[in-house]
Amino acid sequence: MILLKDCRVVARPHLRLAPGEPGTGTDLRGVDILIRGKRIVKIGKNLGFPHPPPAPTVDDDGTRRTVDASRCVVLPGLVNTHHHFVQTLTRAAPGAQDAKLFHWLTYLYEIWKGIDEESVYWSSRLALAELALTGATCSTDHHYLYPRDRAIDIPALQFAAAAELGLRFAPTRGSMSMSRKDGGLPPDSVVQDEDEILAATESAIDRFHDGEPDSMRRVAVGPCSPFTVSESLMRASAELGRRKGVRLHTHLAETSDEDEFCVGKFCRRPLELMEDTGFIGKDVWYAHGIFFNDEELDTLARTGTGVAHCPSSNMRLGSGICRVRDMLDRGIPVGVGVDGSASNDSSDLLGEIRQALLLQRVKYGSSALSAREALRMGSEFGSRLLGFDEAGRVEEGALADLALFDVDQLGYAGASADPVAGLVFCGFDHRAEHVIVNGRFVVDGRKLVGMDEEEIRSKADAESRKLFSKAGIPVY
């Protein structure tokens, strides 16, 4: 059991806010949180461990730990809804620094095609480490690049990395089937044929997916985008996901170039293509979703389809501004995604929530998105997109996925009138003090539990240097 004593503030952004109200009324001050096994069992003042101790269970081995949380803001665990872990090895790549999406991809495919088992494993560890250290308890990944000339069991490597770090992990089995010779964007060496993709996706689901509410492993079906997979694969992927009872994910409406591509190749706008292929519904979430018109937003709302908002990537690539305000007003679930690290170039999830708030205000003005709305997107809505309906809230009975930030730090000094909002508004220090997933510490005292941060850094950096060198790009 874990007892979090005297929490400075417990944020509950899932509680509905009155319009124009900052939301401090939804906070709990000076309470304790008791965790037993995988769940929050009690929140209240002056709690202690139960006497006599309850009989041990599979989830509760009888250990007891008390944590002084009097310096901490307690958030529901943050959830990352879009990423490409392998891109952590190609941050700030020289030829992709100032390019827009299609040119950026064309340049980077030539580097990414050199991946191997080591690069997949260490990039996964690196991305997950950054996520955990910035408050993430759960993440997806969208790996879609499978070199033809070597068999790499990417899901197995990624699930191993996630299990070692202790994060809840719900990756997609991504895919690309349409290379340049078919009018798509990627080179032939990194696409697979459709039967191979569907068989490998089904195998990943059978081997790794656990649909229980407190599962640590989920698999979604993730054809990459309308410009890298065929219409038939998009349709077959949706059918496979429904047959297996798993979620569906793809990139959609990211750029105006994509609109033009879809109209030119499929004679339809991207969302029309999704409707025609069945790749839409409450079990689907799209990455980006910038270029939806009003009618299309109504369609998303009517079908319950979600969106992973990736503000840093959208700014970095000059793609545009997602209409998050309009989506939230329609009841569309919008989560936050850091996106791949070749277009962010970090996995700082609390930082990404801050970016979401700021970017909406660029478009819609200063009241466009409040700090607690941004935190709700980054926790409860993200959990919902990945299918974890029992996480993302700090309440009795919920899964014990929590992020604690010590706000008695230089970067938060002066924010004592609203330390919850301070986490979003102050951009200096995003390291979590403690992160708890399924009732277990994964970050403790600002450090990864049982992990050597320096080893992750050095191994991942060595893999990055190898990848750049294989592509003939000099490194410092």
Q: Is 4 exposed, middle or buried (0-12, 13-18, 19+ CB in 10 A)?
A: buried
Q: What string of H, E and C letters represents the secondary structure of 83-115?
A: CCHHHHHHCCCHHHCCCCHHHHHHHHHHHHCCC
Least distance to Zn ion, CB of residue 83, Å: 8
**Residue count, binding to Zn ion (CB under 5 A):** 1
CB of 155 to Zn ion, least distance (A): 18
CB-CB contact of 411 with 428 (8 Å): yes
Q: Which is nearer to Zn ion, 309 or 393 (CB)?
A: 309
CA separation for the pair 89, 132 (Å, rounded): 18
Per-residue binding string, Zn ion, 428-467, x by CB under 5 A, is ----------------------------------------
Dist. CA 68–CA 213, nearest whole Å: 29
- Residue 449's alpha-carbon distances to 48, 129, 158, 412, 434, in angstroms, are 25, 10, 18, 25, 10
Residue number with CB closer to Zn ion (334 or 451): 334
- Provide, rounded to whole angstroms, the least separation between the CB of residue 36 and Zn ion: 38
Cα–Cα dist 418/341, whole Å: 31
Per-residue binding letters, 276-305, with Zn ion (x by CB under 5 A): -----------x------------------
Cβ closer to Zn ion: 254 or 380? 254
Give the span between the Cα atoms of 73 and 421, in whole angstroms. 10
Shortest separation between residue 123's beta carbon and Zn ion, angstroms: 15
CB-based contact 325:377 (threshold 8 Å): no
Which residue, 140 or 177, is less far from Zn ion as judged by CB? Answer: 140
Minimum distance from CB of 91 to Zn ion (Å)?
15
Which CB atom, from 208 or from 286, has the smaller least distance to Zn ion?
Answer: 286
Closest CB 136 distance from Zn ion, rounded Å: 17
Cβ atoms 80, 136 nearer than 8 A = yes
- Which residues from 317-356 bind Zn ion, rule CB under 5 A? none
| Window 100 to 119, contacts with Zn ion (CB under 5 A) | none
Distance CA 269, CA 282 (A): 20
Nearer residue to Zn ion within complex by CB, 134 or 314: 314
Residues 213-232 within binding reach of Zn ion (CB under 5 A)? none
- Complex with Zn ion: residue 219 or 287, whichever CB lies closer: 287
Residue 176 contacts residue 191 (beta carbons within 8 Å): yes
From the CB of 258, what's the least distance to Zn ion, in Å?
12
Q: Please report, as residue ranges, which positions from 124 to 163 form the binding site for Zn ion (by CB under 5 A).
A: none
78 touches 11 (CB < 8 A)? no
**Token output for 226:** 């309308």
- Closer CB to Zn ion, 144 or 159, in the complex: 144
Residue 375, both tokens: 């935190």
Q: How far is CA 254 from CA 100, 173, 175, 226, in A?
A: 11, 20, 18, 11
* Min dist. Cβ of residue 343 to Zn ion (A): 7
- Closest distance of CB 251 from Zn ion, Å: 5
Looking at the Cβ atoms of 109 and 412, the one nearer to Zn ion is: 109
Residues making contact with Zn ion (CB under 5 A): 287
